[in-house]
Homo-oligomer: A and B are copies of this chain.
Amino acid sequence: MALTREQVVDQAVEILDSYGMADLSMRRLGDALGVKAGALYWHVANKQSLLAAVADRILSQVVGQQMAIADPAAALLLWGGGLRRVLLAHRDSAELVATALASGLCEKDPTEDPRRWLVEAGLDQQRAGWAAQAVLHLVLGHVSEEQNILVMKQLGLLPGGASGSEGFDFALRCLVEGIARQLP
C-alpha cells in the first residue's frame, strides 16, 4: 500500500518524541517509513510544512474549555496549564510549535479560544489578541526552557530533581491577573 500524508506526520511525531527535534530529518523520516527521502516530497511540500503539520497535530490535543463567561481569568489559567501539559508530552514541542507558528504554515491558531473569551468579557478585538498572544508567548517560552533543562539533566550536565510547576503557575498568574485588570 502507498504511503499517506497522515502516516508521514504520525512517524514524524514518533521520531520527535523518541529522539528530539535535531534527529527529525527528512532522511531519517524516510528511513523510518521504509522510503527514500525524496519520496516524502510527494506527500509534503517541504520540511517547514511538515513541521507545521506536526505542530497542528500537537496543538489539536489542547482542550477548549467552556467556562469563558463564568470567569475569563480562571479560563485563561486553565487553558495555559492545559497547553503546557500537552507540550510537555512531546519532546522539544515548545520550540517546534514556536517556529511552526512563526512560519505561518499552521492551520490552527492556538489563541482563538482565549481571544474569544476575552472579547466576550468585554475587551476589544485588538487588546484581546495582544493579551492572548502574550499568554501564548509566556507558555511557549517557559515550556521551552523546561524542556531544555530536561535534556541537560538527562545528559548529566545538570543535577536531577523534579522541576515542578510553581514557577510556571506564578508567572501565568501574574500575567492573567494583569490582563483581568484590563477588563471592564
Contact = CB atoms under 8 A, between A and B. Distances in A.
A144 B138 CA distance: 13
Contact of A142 (B137, B152, B179): B137
A160 interface: no
A73 to B, nearest CB: 11
Given A137-B137, A137-B138, A130 B175 contact: no
Given A133-B167, A138-B134, A138-B138, A98 B173 contact: no
Nearest to A140: B141
B142 A133 contact: yes
Contacts of A126: 166-167
Contact of A178 (B142, B148, B174): B174
B175 A144 contact: no
Interface residues of A, number: 35
A90 interface: no
Contacts of A102: 144-145, 148
A177 B177 CA distance: 8
A132 to B, nearest CB: 10
A27 interface: no
Of A144, A152, A176, A178, chain B has the most CB atoms within 10 Å of the CB of A178
Contacts of A131: 170-171, 174
14 contacts: A98-B144, A104-B157, A130-B166, A130-B170, A131-B174, A133-B145, A134-B175, A136-B141, A138-B175, A140-B141, A174-B181, A174-B182, A176-B178, A178-B178
Given A102-B148, A103-B148, 8 more contacts: A134-B175, A137-B140, A137-B145, A137-B171, A174-B175, A177-B181, A178-B179, A178-B181
